[in-house]
Structures are given as structure tokens and as C-alpha cells.
Amino acid sequence: MAETGILTVDDLLTLAPRRYEDRSRFMTLAQLACRPAGEKGTLLVEIRSSRLLRTRRRGLTITRATVTDSSGEEEVVWFNQPYLVRHLTPGRRLILFGGMSGADGRPGCIQNPEMELLPKDESGEASVHMGRVVPVYPRTAGFSSRQLRRLLHQALAAGAGHAPDPLPVELLRRRDLPERAAALRALHFPTGDVDPEELVACRTPAQRRLIYEELLLLLVALHLKRQKRRRGARSWTCLPAAGTDADLKSFLPFSLTPGQEKAWQIIAGDLRGATPMARLLQGDVACGKTAIAAMALLLAVKSGTQAALMVPTEILARQHHTRLERLLAPAGMRVGLLLGGRPTDASRRLKAELAGLEPCLVIGTHALIQKDVRFGNLGLVVIDEQHRFGVAQRMRLAGKGRHPDLLVMTATPIPRSLALTRYGDLDLVEIRDRPPGRATVRTEILPRSEAATAWEAVRSAATAGRQAFIVYPLVDESKSSDLAAACAAYADLGAGALAGLRLGLVHGRLPARERQATMAAFMAGRIQVLVATTVIEVGLDVEDATVLVVEHAERFGLAQLHQLRGRIGRGSRPSTCYLLHGDRLGDESRQRLAVLERTFDGFELAREDLRLRGAGELLGVRQHGSMGLRLADIVRDEEILQEAREDCLTLSAAAMPEELAQAARRRWGQPLGLGSGRESEVGVGPGHDHP
């Protein structure tokens, strides 16, 4: 069961039921038929007959069965589950969970219900699966819900879960939580007196206790990780002469905003302190995080150590490189650039330099974490747009130095609860304001059929000497149909709506040279309209861009759209973002897009996004599940998280109880790179992402 994260009995014991069924009282078929269509109930029925139908539409199969109970009979259908039919033999009993189709009083049938077949002779296990509130599990590692229920019942009966409770008794008493073994039993096999509403809301004492435990252990593990890092002495000392604030600021073409100033004070404090920094810098798109990063990098290099900045795309690496080089050349500082691809003379020379002890600054993509890149004297690591990297990659870069300082920057803010659980091993600092004189960005949501409005805006911007982006969703750059769509649209626009304008196209599959040339032409204003895939999503900074059109906006996440929208309104001219969507837009998508129309505040947006989509998806598919919470849900359980946080603080202020620390290591040590001792090579999340 490794791929599902179930490796131990304890993993099995903390497998969360998807829902519960009250099998002490079944609904009858007659009762279900009186309910509004779609309202679900749990039924105990017997098969009268069944058959498999294949429709003319290729691939569609329908399994039909007639079922009965004491109240009458109904038709049941399942779509595309042809294998069911061989189990549906006359006389067989089964439990259904589903609702009636057919609205407005028209006769319906029970459509696509979940089902559990009962064995021909139920007597042996009746008390496990019947006559009580039973858990229904997600299919896990090929085991059906029924098999899992049986396994869990056996495990609990054999005394599993009776290991000493890792939570201190005082804590349980103070938070009024049951002890572990009892909670596990009640999670899987709730007794008759359980409150059904609490059960559905995951708020029974047993559920609360286990959720609390999971979150507390996570917070404790993160605390241990921070502590471990603080114990490692940093390898470099900040030289006071080299890094006065005035000196560092003299390189910037502007003065810091109050928010930047505050963030810098905190970060500078870390850099000048005795132990390595590990910080997450949060701020809305275009709030000016790069300036802070530049000052940190400069401070490190001027103090005689090496500093590295890792970014997710080549385009962004080049942009940072050009800017920092321009800033730092007067100081006589060289800035290296390391990208993927075949080694060149220049990249070989750069690698040789990094392997030495000379202070230097390097900017790069994932190329920086390849095996053949060694640092002789790495003192500071900055990671920009962290959402594109996995924890493992972050650690791999840091692992190339001896306890280097680490500064991680978000693309757009993420909610505190998420930052706490996901990046809780990092200290948090935020920039809440933006540079002065910024234009407003208006956001307009349009159905595809009204795209002409957007093209008109693109044309008039270009005519007035401004620039525009048109973005196509290419979730998977290797999917050629998507790519073809973007290329075709590019050709169409050039010949039609945007004829006569200078257009350019970039996507991840263009040869690097070509992509680079197009980007450079756009940055220099020679190209007026850049048609692009999401390769432009992160970081790109072009002051003259005032219009952004996003095609199929409904396919993007909120945070990503906000990040895209951050490509415009960077200068002082009012800008407009057009979000085009298909003509049939679902309610949920409409709601999501409406949030963007309403607000431009990334912090508020992040909260909405978390609420609408849940924690797993917020950071994109790639990171889904990597957080690895089994029972807790940080949206639903924010309050419990808060309690756990308070308790973790109290506990860590004294001495962390050893059993608790051990349990935290057992549960989270591996994914957090805590327990194994080989910190540079372990981590959660698949993380990857090359442009």
C-alpha cells in the first residue's frame, strides 16, 4: 500500500472514513422514491434481476438491475461499470447509497449508487458491517471499503492503537479530548450514541482528538526542524563594514516602501545574527520582493561568501540576471547565470568558480541543483517563486553549503494556516504594501463570444505605444493538442483581429534561442503583443504592458490568475485584464472568477482561494497531497490548528515531552527530512517543473 502512504498499522488506523452510513435503520425504497430527486439514502435491498446493456454510442455501458425490499421495487442503473453485472445475481443482498433520478415527479430510477455487496451468509461478520453506524472508506490500494472495514475491525480487536498515548495527559484534560485508543475505536466504529451531525462535521470528540493530534505532531515536527537548524552554526559571518544598510540601499534605484523596510530589518537581523536564517518572505505580486532579495544577496557576497538565487524559469533567471548585473556592475561584482541544457565553456568556467572559495553571486534555474554543481563557500540561498519547487529541491540547494541562510519567496501570498502547516519550518515575514505610483488594474470577465472587446483593447494599447500579453492555458506543455490550439490562435489573431500589429509567440517547447530572442524583442518593445503560455506566469516585469487577455480563464487557479494579472499595471498607466471564458461556465468557476473582479488584494484572494478549493489544490496539482494530512483539513479545522499552535508554543517554551517529540518524528520525520539524518536528499512532494 506504499503508494497510498499506508505503510504501517498506524497509517491504517488513521485512514479517514470518507463518510458514515447508519445501518441500524435503513431507508426503504418507497421512502426514497418520495424524496426529492438526488437526495441520497442508505438502503438494504435484494436483487431480483439484472442485465448489461451496451449503447450504440461507443464505450457506454449501462448495468440495470431490479431490486426489492419490503416496501416495493425499483430500477437501479450504473453507467460504465460493466463488471458489476456478474455480482448482481438474483437473490443477492446489497447495500445501496444513492438517490433517485428524474425530476418533476417523473418516474426515475436509482442512478449510480455506491454499493456494498453482502456475502451470502452474513452471520459471521454481521456486527462489523451491519446494524450500526459504519464507516465507508475511500478505495485504498485496491482494497474495497468493506475489506478495509474488516481489516480495521480486526486490527482494533487485536489491540492495535494501544501504544502509549503520545499526547500528555494534562493536554488531553485541558482540551477535553479522549485518549488515543478510545478515539481510534470511535473514529472507525462509532457507538450508537454518537451525534450524527457532529460525525458529518468531523467534530465528535474522537475526530477532534485525532485531528488535533495530527496537527500538533506536525507543528512539533516543524519546531524540531527549526531547532535542529538553529543548532548548526552558520558558516559565514556578516562583515559590518561591507553591509551597512545605507551601502546596500545605495544600489537600488528607488527607496524602500515602509513594508519593504520592515521586512528588510527582520531579514537583515537574521543575516547579521549568529544562526542560519530560514525565512519565508510573503508579499503580493509586484510588491517588490526582488529588491529585498537583492540586498540580502549583496550583503552576503560583500561579506565574502557565495550566494545563489534559484528561480523556476529560464525567462525569469535571465530577467533577474540582467537587472542584478546592471545594479552590481558598478560595485565591480560579477553575476553568474546558470541554466539547463548542454554544458558550454561559460557554464564550465562558472561551475569551476563556484567550486572555489571566491565570493560570488549566481542566478539559475534547476540547473543549480544538479549533481555537478558544487559550491566551495555557499552562504546564502534565495528561492524565488517557491510554489514551483518542492521542499526536496529547496533542501538540495541548501545542502550544497554548510548551513547556509535560506530565504524563500512566494509568488503570491498564501493564507497563514497554510503557510503554518506547509512551511512551518520557516519563519514568516510579510510585505503588506506596494510601491507608490502604481496604476490600478481593472479586471473584466467576458464570455468567449465577446472577445472582440478584448482584442479592441489590445489594438488600442499597441497603437498608443503600449504592450499586451495574451495567455493560453497549457497545463501540460507536452500535450500537443493544447499547444496546437495556442499556435493556431496566434496565427488567427495575426491574420484577423490583430492584423498589422507586431506579434510574438513563446511557449515552453520552442528552442531556447528562439524563445529568448522573442522575449528580448518584447522587453525592448519591438514586439507589441506577446502570445504566450504560462511560461510568462512568474515574475516577468515589463512596465509598458497595460493589457492582459487570458483565454480559457476558467482553467486556471485563482492564485495563478492573480499572478498572471501581476504582469500588467507595473508602470503608472491604468491597465486592464480580460478573463475570457467558455460560453458555458459552471457556478463554481464563475464564483472563482468573480473574486478576481472584486479584489486585487492577494492576501484576501488567497483566503478565498483556500476556502473555495481546499488546501490540497491551492498550490497546484503538483503539490496536491504532498502535505500528507490524513484526517485534518486546514480549512475546516482552522480552529483546532490554532489550538494546536498555542499548545505547541507552550510546550516548546518548556521542554518538549520526549514521547511527543518521538511521535512527531515517526509521523513527519521522513517527509520533513527530520529523522533520517540525510537532510539533503529527502523531502516531500514530487516537485519539479522545468519550463
Q: Which residues bind ligand ADP (CB under 6 A)?
A: 254, 256-257, 260, 283, 285-291, 435, 539, 541, 570
Query: Least distance to ligand ADP from the beta carbon of 257, Å?
Result: 5
- Min CB(253)–ligand ADP separation in Å: 7
558-565 vs 602-613: helix axis angle to the nearest 10? 160
- Our CB check for ligand ADP shows the closer of 291 and 373 to be 291
Residue at shortest CB range from Mg ion: 539
Binding flag, residue 108, Mg ion (CB under 5 A): no
- 619 interacts with, out of Mg ion, ligand ADP, none, CB within 5 to 8 A per kind: none
Distance CA 504, CA 542 (A): 15
Q: CB under 5 to 8 A by kind: which of ligand ADP, Mg ion, none does 669 bind?
A: none
79 binds, among ligand ADP, Mg ion, none (CB under 5 to 8 A by kind): none
Nearer of residues 272 and 323 to ligand ADP, judged by Cβ: 323
285 binding partner (options ligand ADP, Mg ion, none; Cβ < 5 to 8 Å by kind):
ligand ADP
Could you give the angle at the alpha carbon of 169 between the alpha carbons of 168 and 172, nearest 5°? 95
Cα distances from 282 to residues 384, 423, 429, 605, 615, in angstroms, run 11, 11, 6, 14, 18
Q: Kindly tell me which of 307 and 483 has the beta carbon lying closer to Mg ion.
A: 307
Min separation Cβ 539 and ligand ADP, Å = 6
- SS3 (DSSP) at 529: strand
Cβ closer to Mg ion: 508 or 539? 539
Cβ distance to ligand ADP smaller for residue 366 or 570: 570
Count of alpha carbons within 13 Å of 619, Cβ hemisphere only?
27
Largest interatomic CA distance in the chain: 89
Nearer to ligand ADP, 260 or 305 (CB): 260
Query: Is the CB of 435 or the CB of 614 nearer to ligand ADP?
Result: 435
Shortest reach from residue 116's CB to ligand ADP, in Å: 52
Is 379 within 8 Å of 305 (Cβ atoms)?
yes
Q: Rounded to the nearest whole angstrom, what is the least distance from the CB of residue 107 to ligand ADP in the complex?
A: 58
Query: Residue 312 or 539: which CB sits closer to Mg ion?
Result: 539
The grid coordinates of residue 26 equal 435503513
> Closest separation between CB of residue 380 and Mg ion, Å?
17
Residue nearest to ligand ADP (CB): 288
In SS3 terms, 457-497 reads as HHHHHHHCCCEEEEECCCCCCCCHHHHHHHHHHHHHHHHCC
AA letter at 42: T
Angstrom distances, CA of residue 306 to CA of 17, 243, 320, 322, 326? 50, 15, 17, 19, 19
CB environment 74-83: b (16+ within 10 A), e (fewer): bebbbeeeee
The answer to whether 660 and 168 have CB atoms below 8 angstroms apart is yes
Could you give the CA distance from residue 90 to residue 51 in angstroms, rounded to a whole number?
11
What's the burial of 488, exposed, middle or buried (CB within 10 Å: 0-12/13-18/19+)?
exposed
State the minimum distance, in angstroms, from the CB of residue 419 to ligand ADP.
16
Distance in Å, CB of 178 to ligand ADP, minimum: 46
**283 binding partner (options Mg ion, ligand ADP, none; Cβ < 5 to 8 Å by kind):** ligand ADP
| Residue pair 689/389 in contact by the 8 Å Cβ criterion | yes
DSSP state of 165: P
Q: Convert residues 513-542 into a mask of x (bound to Mg ion by CB under 5 A) and - (unbound).
A: --------------------------x---
Closer residue to ligand ADP (CB): 541 or 689: 541
| Among ligand ADP, Mg ion, none, residue 260 binds (CB under 5-8 Å by kind) | ligand ADP
Find the shortest distance in angstroms from Cβ 290 to Mg ion: 5
State which residue, 151 or 252, has the beta carbon closest to ligand ADP.
252
Give how many residues touch Mg ion by CB under 5 A: 1
Nearest CB to ligand ADP, comparing residues 286 and 301: 286
| Kind of pairing between the strands at 405-409 and 378-383 | parallel
Question: Is beta strand 503-506 parallel, antiparallel or unpaired with respect to 361-364?
Answer: unpaired
- What is the spatial distance between Cα 590 and Cα 586, in angstroms, rounded to a whole number? 6
At 81, list the grid cell. Answer: 461499470
- Least Å distance, CB 312 to ligand ADP, is 13
Minimum distance from residue 288 beta carbon to ligand ADP (Å):
3
Q: Which residues contact Mg ion by CB under 5 A?
A: 539
